[in-house]
Amino acid sequence: MTSRHLFFKLMREDLRHKIWMIALSSLGSFLALPVTWLLAVSDGYDYLPAEFPPYVVSGMFHDGLLISSGFVAIAGAVIVGLFVFRFVFHKNMIDTYHSIPVKRRTLYGVCWLNGFLIWLVPFLICLLVTLGMATVYMLGTPAQKWIPAMFAETGTNFLVLVVAFLLVYHLVLTAVMVSGNVWNTLVSMMILGFGVVSIYGLGLGFFAYYIDTFYSAALNPEPAFYSSPLLSAVLLIYWKGRVDVLGASLFVIWKPFLINFCVMALLGVLSWWLYMRRASELAEQGIQNKVFSAVLKFLVGLAAGMGGWMLFNLMVSHAGWGIFGLILVGVLAFGVMDIIFNMDFKAFFAHKLQMAATIVCALVICFCFYLDAFGYDAYLPDKEDIAEIAVYDTDFTNLNYYSNYANEMLENLHFQDVDAAYAYLKRMTDREKGIEPTSVNADSGSVRYNVYSSQHFATKITLKNGRTYYRYYTVTNNDLDVVWPLFSNEEYLDWNYVVHRNRAESFDLIRRYCFGKSSYVSEVSKESMWAIAEAYNRDLMKNPETVLLNQGKLLVSLELSHSGYREDYPDDYWIRNQRLDIYESMENTIAALGQLGYGHWVEQTDSSEISEIQFSIGSNSNGSFRSVQNLMDVVRNYYGVYEESSKTGTADEMTPGGQGYILAYTELDAEVFDVAIPMYDSYLSITSEAEIRELMQLLNRQVPQHTLGVFHKGYVQVNVLVDGGEESVTYFIRKGDLPEKYILRFAELYEQMRQQQESNAL
């Protein structure tokens, strides 16, 4: 009894010296809870439909008060942690406290408990006042049914805040127990609080900068967060605030809550253990614990060295400057830490061997990334070791996806054709070694694909021993032969293109896209929707290259969707719509649309209604040209039609009517004029009925869903005049589809403009 009486007497005496901390804590909790709630009510959030919990419940007690209270809890943990053991920083105070006739563990318990209660008691009082006001406010209204959920939500939030407070509180106490003054404590606290996650972030930066195939989306950064308590405490509050269910238990965030609880407990034990072994002579000194000091300096020196390498490499991409930046920043940071920890400016090089070891370690890490010393990019497993592969790219799906959809696909796809998987991996890893394939796609020599010459495909490889690894492989338009089997197989098509019955039954709208106008929306019955989807699936499976590679003439783009938000959305709940590009060769889909009365959706404009088709010149730096070769280069690049390495046939055979366009192009080819020929608003006009009919077989009223992929050739706008030129309509032609004869006709247009300019000059 005497011991217990002495404990509480000592608590009261200690609290008497901490009145200012109690007042500050009370003010913070008062502003974060009652005042914040009253502001929300006064701001007009007191009226919402009865079926929804009012903002003062769902907003304030769900995440509003959690965030404001979380800020007070973390800030309070830092302040209380720094000052609750303030006597350890002063020589004239520590002897007085240690002369009190109690054991050290008792003194630690008194100070620790007072620090916790300084935050807890004002917080609980303000929280209960706020709950009382909210309960009275909601009684007698439709919102009173949410009172139990409000109390449940408040209870789980309270537990989260307690763990967050103690996590930061114990971190600060750990830093206090190894430091002799507040300055050293602050530095130690920041290193312990953010050191590991900083090195982790630098490692990710090095992976992204130097490792070509690094796929960051497959990483789980949570372990690094848990090793950095300051960040982890903030994230714990953030994760709880993101829980969408009002009144949800801690089960929804059990993992981060439990891990942070364990880290909090370990830090608490560590701070107690360090205090029990703390020498009184440490007061007003730096950090005397050699192991602790060495670890902190190593973390700072390593992070600073890697940061210096990256900083100088970003300015000048050269390994020599990277080494210079690493040594400069690393030595400076390590030396400054020695000065701080020893409280002596002469201590900059006090631990030269530790400094050198840290710099060498940083150099080894940086060069491992710089040289890919472990063969990360070029790793190729043996063929017989491969179990399955999953490849995904956002240009190969007709689904509306969300940001994490690529990862979902990599986990769901299990393509087990080992020959196809190995051929793909061999091509990708050969490229990382600087080896390009000896053969290319048949048409890539004369018709180039889109402006993107390469693209990164997310890849997951599973080996027979159970190991999985992820890569972002660089694919070029010469890789279609090894990529096609991975995208055209039934499994991939089923996940990313096929319209499943459950999706079709959830859709009730079809949007038809039309360039330059609002999409046309039609309500369609579920039976009709499934009939269209079924026909589309048959056409897709019969000729997947039509849809995946945008081959042929596009008749219409349809988007299967639904009206409003659906809480009972089927298994693939993230899918909100599905885009169907209908091509001329898709006979089943076209027939289904006709039978259902939607045949007009795929009807094309009669060429007899078109009076003129205009092809623009494309983009040029200033819209003027000094030679026909300059013009033709721009036109060919714009329309994606390039000169073949060898032409067969005569000029008359290759030009309409034998009019000699190629000859004119050849004669003007080498001539460069002193004055540039302005062609800002010039365009190639086609008015011949036969040529209009020919071109209308190539023009699309709308572009497909994906046009920028490495295997897609892109589209160019074309101006079409209808009704005798009264109306101008935008069409599109796929790059590479415009016949050569029209490309060559731009040479004559150039000659006409040149002659006109000479005539005007005369």
Question: Could you report the per-residue pLDDT of 324-374, keeping only the tens digit for each?
Answer: 999 999 999 999 999 998 888 888 988 999 999 999 999 999 999 999 999
Unique residue bearing structure tokens 């366009």: 661
Q: H/E/C letters for each residue in 696-758?
A: HCCEECCCCCCCCCCCCCCEEEEEEEECCCCEEEEEEEECCCCCHHHHHHHHHHHHHHHHHHH
Spatial distance between the Cα atoms of 256 and 667, rounded to a whole number of angstroms = 75
What is the predicted pLDDT for the residue at 755?
82
Spatial distance between the Cα atoms of 511 and 560, rounded to a whole number of angstroms = 7
Its sign, for the CA torsion 405, 407, 410, 412, is negative
Q: Report how far apart, in Å, the C-alpha atoms of 713 and of each of 530, 550, 637 are.
A: 31, 8, 12
- Please enumerate in sequence order all residues whose Cβ is within 8 A of that of 672, keeping only pairs 6 or more positions apart, or say none: 626, 627
Q: pLDDT higher for 557 or 681?
A: 557
Question: Helices H, strands E: what count in the chain?
Answer: 28, 14
Backbone angles phi, psi at 685, to 5 degrees: -100, 130
Q: Which of 78-82, 222-226, 263-267, 562-566 has the lowest mean pLDDT?
A: 562-566
Kindly report, residue by residue over 8-29, the tens digit of the pLDDT: 788 787 788 889 999 999 999 9
Kindly report, residue by residue over 699-732, the tens digit of the pLDDT: 988 889 888 888 888 899 999 998 777 788 889 9
Q: Which of 52-66, 159-173, 609-623 has the lowest mean pLDDT?
A: 52-66
pTM: 0.78
Unique residue bearing structure tokens 């800020």: 71
Kindly report, residue by residue over 472-503, the tens digit of the pLDDT: 999 988 899 999 999 999 999 999 999 998 87
Helix (H) or strand (E) holding 39: helix 36-42
- Token pair of 36, please? 């914040």
Q: Where are the alpha helices (DSSP H) in 602-677?
A: 628-639, 651-654, 661-669
Answer yes or no: are the C-beta atoms of 571 and 515 closer than 8 Å. no
Spatial distance between the Cα atoms of 435 and 479, rounded to a whole number of angstroms = 13
What is the predicted pLDDT for the residue at 42?
74
Answer yes or no: are the C-beta atoms of 123 and 75 closer than 8 Å. no
Kindly report, residue by residue over 239-292, the tens digit of the pLDDT: 887 776 666 667 778 889 999 999 999 999 999 999 998 888 888 888 888 888
On the question of pLDDT at 441 being above 60, the answer is no
- Please enumerate in sequence order all residues whose Cβ is within 8 A of that of 488, keeping only pairs 6 or more positions apart, or say none: 544, 545, 548
Exposed/middle/buried for residue 341 (C-beta within 10 Å: 0-12, 13-18, 19+): buried
- Token pair of 473, please? 């492989």
Q: Where are the alpha helices (DSSP H) in 488-559?
A: 490-496, 501-506, 526-542, 544-548
Kindly report, residue by residue over 656-706, the tens digit of the pLDDT: 333 333 434 444 455 665 567 777 778 899 999 999 999 999 998 888 988
